[in-house]
Structure 1
Amino acid sequence: MVSTIGRSFNFQPCFLFNSKTVDKSLTARGHSWLWPTAAGVGATAPDRQIRAAAEQRPTWLPGLDPPTYLDGTLAGDYGFDPLGLGEDPESLKWYVQAELVHARFAMLGVLGILVTDLLRVAGISKIPVWFEAGAVKYELANTGTLVIVQLLLMGFAETKRYMDFINPGSQAKDGSFFGLEASLEGLEPGYPGGPLLNPLGLARDIKSAHDWKLKEIKNGRLAMVAILGIFIQASVTHVGPIDNLVEHLSNPWHKTIIQTLASSSS
């Protein structure tokens, strides 16, 4: 999630001399800002409550106050929004859904790349390396047909998801999905349910499933970083991640990222 850097710094003055020598009558003349508020001196009760809440809440960088529009209620909200993208509440709702979808795609992508690469390296299957899979001719159908089918299926699914976002619950009404609505019963926008998409029955009470949401978004963010690393790795080494791992394990002290980058730049 997101926090505004720069605007979120809270500077407290510190005195280089004994505070007893300062004219404390300044506070009575509207200069209470001269006094540090960390201990509550010169601060109003609401200020102390806000500070106490901010100190208890974990943030992406300790010492930074999260922006007011990120109050910690969203799963994975650690007050990170350097570009201020979440200032508009409606935009924030969409960004939350966009991050969730990208996280799920990244988790599936990392799993698919690692599993197929492991099967290929182990000699179990002749699956092509992941970045060449799109150029392979499949017996099932030609490339053009596969692309069109994928566009139609994903376009249909994404349209349904968008319609449920702008009008929550509309896609669960009778007749909205060929009579299969009960099998795809949504819990809330971004969290479909039913026996098909939630066969284990996890987080059935989605309103109190904060821990499940937090685990998913944490793993999703990790997967997004991992997939970026896999992309860069393939661009530099021109092989899959399992090949890179095997090469590193064969000579751990001399087959590292430093030597790889140095050899690729030469």
Structure 2
Amino acid sequence: MAVAIGRGFPFQPCSVFKSKSIGKASLGLCGTESWPQPAGAETTRRCSRTRVAAQQEQRPTWLPGLDPPPYLDGTLAGDFGFDPLGLGEDPESLRWYVQAELVHARFAMIGVAGILFTDLLRITGLSKVPVWFEAGAVKYEFANTETLFLVQLLLMGFVETKRYMDFVSPGSQAKEGSFFGLEASFAGLEPGYPGGPLLNPLGLAKDIKSAHDWKLKEIKNGRLAMVAMLGIFVQASVTHVGPIDNLVEHLSNPWHRTIIQTLSSSSS
């Protein structure tokens, strides 16, 4: 009965059954005032099961009423029980997917911000930067394409190697001598969350173990950015212009310049 009540109400039954107002004739299983009184160990176990049931009932999921998989217990930031393919059943794979999603989310946030900013510069005439999907074909005067590619390959390879080594052996890249004596500038908080004055200049989430809210905000914005990036890819493929161009065109005639008219005209 305690479990059933825990699923139906937001409060925890253990605390309710401890109230003297319930009376000894009630069927409470957890409180010291209830009657009959179970054994101490059994009382603790029943209270724990009741609390777990109540917490699971209150936990938000991506689909209301859905029971999340047992390996997604809500401890991860942004865990809403979404894993229809069962990719996270293996704990080691789940660790890797968490880090992969975090990196992709950050790249997506940077990409969306860069595309929108350069599009605004181009639309307003402040700069003659190319549209984002043509930027890679531009020839820069300060270096040729081969040089830029090699520099990017070396820099990205170095950063990704360091990140992978820290994933395999958490904290190894913060040891003295592991980064030319600059370890304090990149003081790692935990895998996937570097810190220090360079990567955390505002000093946010210094205690990463209790920074669940910051992690949740970041992954939510990152997931939104990944969806936005997918939308930018699709609209560029269909309309062959940037996102700000599409927005300006839509605002010029909101009732007739919509995604429906755009898709229908492109397919005809």
Q: Same fold (TM over 0.5)?
A: yes
Percent identical across equivalent pairs?
83
CA distance in structure 2 between the aligned counterparts of 1:169 and 1:51, rounded to whole angstroms: 36
Gaps of 5+ in 2: 1-5, 14-44
Which residue of the other structure, out of 161, 164, 171, is the alignment partner of 1:162?
164
Which residue of the other structure, out of 103, 106, 126, is the alignment partner of 1:104?
106
Question: After the TM superposition, which residues 170-209 of structure 1 pair with which residues of structure 2 at under 5 Å, given as runs?
Answer: 170-209=172-211
1:170-211 Cα offsets, whole Å, 9 max, x none, are 111111111111100100000000000000000000000000
1:49 positional shift: 4.8
1:207 is paired with a residue whose SS is: helix
1:147-179 Cα offsets, whole Å, 9 max, x none, are 111011000000000000100111111111111
1:138 is paired with a residue whose SS is: coil
Structure 2 counterpart of 1:125: 127
Structure 2 counterpart of 1:239: 241
Equivalent residue letter for 1:115? F
1:35-58 Cα offsets, whole Å, 9 max, x none, are xx9679xxx957655442221100
Equivalent residue letter for 2:142? L
Which residue of the other structure, out of 213, 216, 233, is the alignment partner of 1:214?
216
Which residue of the other structure, out of 90, 93, 109, is the alignment partner of 1:91?
93
Tell me the TM-score normalized by structure 2.
0.82
CA distance in structure 1 between the aligned counterparts of 2:208 and 2:96, rounded to whole angstroms: 19
CA distance in structure 1 between the aligned counterparts of 2:216 and 2:259, rounded to whole angstroms: 31
- The answer to which of 168-177 and 128-137 deviates more is 168-177
Structure 1 counterpart of 2:34: none
Question: After the TM superposition, which residues 30-109 of structure 1 pair with which residues of structure 2 at under 5 Å, given as runs?
Answer: 45=46, 49-109=51-111
CA distance in structure 2 between the aligned counterparts of 1:206 and 1:102, rounded to whole angstroms: 20
CA distance in structure 1 between the aligned counterparts of 2:7 and 2:121, rounded to whole angstroms: 58
Tell me the TM-score normalized by structure 1.
0.82
CA distance in structure 2 between the aligned counterparts of 1:176 and 1:53, rounded to whole angstroms: 43
- Aligned Cα RMSD in Å? 1.8
Structure 2 counterpart of 1:12: none
CA distance in structure 1 between the aligned counterparts of 2:244 and 2:266, rounded to whole angstroms: 19
CA distance in structure 1 between the aligned counterparts of 2:216 and 2:266, rounded to whole angstroms: 39
1:140 positional shift: 1.7
1:57-88 Cα offsets, whole Å, 9 max, x none, are 00000111001111101000000000101111
Structure 2 counterpart of 1:254: 256
CA distance in structure 1 between the aligned counterparts of 2:7 and 2:60, rounded to whole angstroms: 18
CA contact (8 A) 2:7 2:57 kept: no
CA distance in structure 2 between the aligned counterparts of 1:240 and 1:135, rounded to whole angstroms: 16
Is 1:224 the counterpart of 2:230? The answer is: no
- The answer to which of 173-182 and 225-234 deviates more is 173-182
CA distance in structure 1 between the aligned counterparts of 2:253 and 2:148, rounded to whole angstroms: 41
Which residue of the other structure, out of 113, 136, 150, is the alignment partner of 1:134?
136
Equivalent residue letter for 2:66? L
Gaps of 5+ in 1: 1-36
CA distance in structure 2 between the aligned counterparts of 1:74 and 1:140, rounded to whole angstroms: 45
Equivalent residue letter for 2:136? G
Is 1:144 the counterpart of 2:146? The answer is: yes
1:261 is paired with a residue whose SS is: helix
Aligned length: 228
Equivalent residue letter for 2:233? F
1:164 is paired with a residue whose SS is: helix
Greater RCO between the two (CA within 8 Å, min separation 6)?
1
Equivalent residue letter for 1:196? L
Equivalent residue letter for 2:232? I
Structure 1 counterpart of 2:20: none
